[in-house]
Amino acid sequence: MPIRFPEFATRLANSDADFHAVQGLRYKVFVEELGGSGTGVDHERQIESDPFDAFCDHLMLSDPSGRLVGVYRLMTNEMAEKAGGFYSESEFDVSGLLACGRPLLELGRSCLHKDFRGGAAMLHLWAGVADYVSRHDIEIMFGVASFHGTDLDALAGPLSLLSTAHSSQDLICTARKPGAVSMNILASDEIDRKAAILAMPTLIKAYLRLGGVVGQGAFVDRAFNTTDVMMIVDIAKMDPQTRAAYSQDWART
């Protein structure tokens, strides 16, 4: 069922028009703003898509006027089986996750319209994810999160901090060649922690606030002009306060 807020509403895409709107917002953000390219970019139709879209659920966040302002792509184990695997397997070896035998949810293709970043919109989008997690009895969320750009020197601080302070110790995912690069660029005493945190994208910081950890190595995606890391959230390991805030009934606020 849809979740409603004083200013926003979330629901799953359920029509061709919805799918076109989702892919259109991704085009605006990933292609027009961030300079992404690749086989899934259709400049004539102004959409960004890939073969996994047809197998996934697409969470939509709308403003009071009904305009689409945020999207998140959701893929369960069952969807991945039908699709021939998870999207992130093209960049990361996720066999460690698959071997755990627990219900998984891959989060991907997340973006917000530029007018809604830095505010409450991301919290509301996450609330929609929380409702989906509850309804599908998900135990582990994971997904690729991106830094804009491929200059590793510019990203040395945040990548090194993620690796040294937030590395997964049990659910291991490893970046695949040829795009794999080490995240251990700086020694721990060389990292300016404050600057590194400020340089992290909002999405990565959101994962960390949920208790998220990072996989081994990053993946340089030159087609999308990004450097990608694997974020993993074991819901059972969330501290009680965070879990309560994440799982609360936002529909009544």
Does 156 reside within a domain? yes
51-67 b/e with 16+ CB inside 10 Å = b?
Answer: ebbebbbbbbbbbeeee
Which 8-state DSSP code applies to residue 55?
Answer: G
Low-confidence ranges of the chain (pLDDT < 70): 1-6, 243-253
Is 240 contained in some domain? Answer: yes
| Domain annotation covers residue 222 | yes
* 231 vs 213: CA distance, rounded Å: 6
pLDDT at site 246: 64
198 in a domain, yes or no? yes
Answer yes or no: is 30 within a domain.
Answer: no
Kind and range of the H or E element at 109?
strand 104-112
pLDDT in the model for residue 43: 95
DSSP run (H or E) holding 228: strand 226-234
User: 178: cis peptide before it, omega within 30°?
Assistant: yes
pLDDT digits (tens, 9 = 90+) for 126-162: 899 999 999 999 999 999 999 999 999 999 999 999 9
Q: Is residue 4 part of a domain?
A: no
In 3-state terms, what secondary structure has residue 21? helix
Do the beta carbons of residue 75 and residue 56 sit within 8 Å?
yes
Domain containing 151 — which CATH number? 3.40.630
Q: Is residue 191 part of a domain?
A: yes
- Tokens 């974020």 belong to 231
Q: Are 157 and 192 in contact (CB under 8 A)?
A: yes
**Cα–Cα distance, 203 to 47 (Å, whole number):** 22
- The residue range of the domain holding 248 is 74-252
Residue 50 makes CB contacts below 8 A (sequence gap 6+) with 39, 40, 87
| Whole-number pLDDT of residue 247 | 59
Q: How far is residue 88 from each of residues 9, 106, 117, 124, 219, measured CA to CA in Å?
A: 28, 8, 25, 24, 10
Q: With respect to residue 39, please indicate whether it lies within any of the assigned structural domains.
A: no
Rounded to whole angstroms, the Cα distance separating 140 from 94 reads 12
Q: How far apart are the first and last CA of the chain?
A: 16
CB neighbours (10 Å) of residue 217? 24
Contacting residues for 99 by C-beta, under 8 A, at least 6 apart: none
Count of structural domains, the chain: 1
